[in-house]
Amino acid sequence: MLILAERLRAANGGELDDSAIQAVAEATGAPVEYVRVVVKRRVDQERKSFLATIRSQFQTLETGVRRSVTSALAASMCALFTAAAVASGGAFLGELLNIVALLWFTLGLYGACVSRDARGGAISGAIFAGGFFASFELFGLIFRLNSAYAPSAFFLIPVTFLGALAGLTLHRMTDQYRGKLGLKDPLKERQELLQQLQDLQDRLKSGKQIVTFLSVDIVGSTKMKEAADELAVEYTFTEYHHFVDLVVKKHGGRVHSTAGDGVTCAFDNPEKAFAAAKNITIGMIEVNTFRNRVGIPIVVRQAIHTGEIMAPTAGDITSVNFAHVIDVAAHLQKVAPPGGVVVSDASLNFIKGGRAAIGQDRVNASGMDGTIWVSRAIVAPAGAIAPPTPPPGG
């Protein structure tokens, strides 16, 4: 929702009006008010000038409220400059102030003309007429105008009614000649916004794909490093990472990311991920026998989970930094037994032989059930590990 709103906001000059907010809500299924609040908070986080902030706050108001505010502002400013022109007494200054007042008067008329419906046009006209009447009387007192310029309050209601009638008439005339005046039809504009959102969604979904992730981690790696020589630790864990990378590539996968001793790998299907996981588990015998220099066997635990991801760059799995499927794989890995592999139910159905080919023991993490596979040969005997020696120069 936020991505669509930001893309649409950028395409419309940095602002989202009510039509755009409505379109985002319909395209994403989110409530209109929720979209409005999220967009408002997003805008508030950006550093802007005072006027830009006021404008952003104004744009987040509902269309009806925004029209009413505009009509009231236009009425007040029109009354202000009209009263100032009367009080100026000077021909040139008075004419100049009258021109400014006319501009605000035009804005008030425009608000009624472009309202979304006839009711909105009538309301805008009533607010402008009533607001001008009341404001002119107030500014007349401030500028101490002659009593002849101070209309009776009795006329407030009739003037407001006439303003509503004028606003209704102007809106209907504008609606009738909207095409000739170069104004967009609100319904057509809304459809265009929805089309823009649909195009954005299609582009965003171009990176959607089903991926299987294998999460690998070493059991008790911190204690292994505490008592060992630093060079031996560096050599051993480097060899371990090289081995995992080699096995993953052998089975058609690729290393997605590494964090400490943990490795997250991506595969096209669970069958390949499971084959790689078994290979890594059994391969620890060879790693511990010939590449381990810390004196303590390396034991890994792993987990496999399959799910849908949305890659920012289509086809590039490494561009995915946050995904629920990765989190689930990591959580299942933490509950896996040493030397074991947890296969989630989402991956289980794609593995030949199903649960019978994996095991009977079950675990649960993050609301996802998984089945445990454990090899009978997890690590090499302790005596088979070569004594700590400096890593080879090559």
pLDDT tens per residue across span 110-130:
888 888 788 888 999 999 999
When mean pLDDT is compared over 8-17, 54-63, 248-257, the highest value belongs to 248-257
Quote the Cα angle for 279-280-283, to 5°.
80
Q: What burial class does residue 364 get, using C-beta atoms within 10 Å of its C-beta: 0-12 exposed, 13-18 middle, 19+ buried?
A: middle
80 against 89, higher pLDDT = 80
Q: What is the pLDDT of residue 391?
A: 44
Say yes or no to pLDDT of 265 above 90: yes
Supply 128's token pair: 């402008």
Q: What is the pLDDT of residue 386?
A: 41
- Kind and range of the H or E run holding 243: helix 230-250
Dist CA 308 CA 145 (whole Å):
73
Q: What is the pLDDT of residue 92?
A: 83
Identity of the amino acid at 267: F
Say yes or no to pLDDT of 353 above 80: yes
Q: What is the pLDDT of residue 355?
A: 87
390 against 49, higher pLDDT = 49
| Mean pLDDT for the chain overall | 81
Dist CA 374 CA 362 (whole Å):
12
What three-state secondary structure class fits 253? coil
Q: What is the pLDDT of residue 319?
A: 60
Q: What is the pLDDT of residue 37?
A: 75
Phi/psi class of residue 341: alpha, beta or left (left: φ > 0; alpha: ψ in -120 to 50)?
A: beta
Residues 167-177 have pLDDT tens digits of 999 988 888 87
- The matching CATH number, chosen from 3.40.440.10, 3.30.365.10, 3.40.190.10, 3.30.70.1230, for 206-384 is 3.30.70.1230
Percent of the chain predicted with pLDDT > 90: 40
Residue spans of the domains in the chain: they are: 62-201, 206-384
